[in-house]
Amino acid sequence: MQTYLRHHMTDYDTLFLTGMSREEARRRVQPKVNAIIALWRRKRPKADTDD
């Protein structure tokens, strides 16, 4: 999932293709990836516990 987010929802590819190292580009976009995942987790519906 992080790979998809990195490539489709951040500037990772632009950073990498303009000469930034892969490691530095990943480090720069990781906070945004983490924020997206955290947002998705908050929006996930609660599981039914009345079984």
Label residue 48 by pLDDT band (50, 70, 90): low
Distance CA 35, CA 9 (A): 11
Q: What is the pLDDT of residue 5?
A: 97
Q: Is the pLDDT of residue 51 over 60?
A: no
Distance CA 5, CA 38 (A): 12
DSSP code of residue 40: H
Entry pTM? 0.78
Averaged confidence pLDDT in the chain:
91
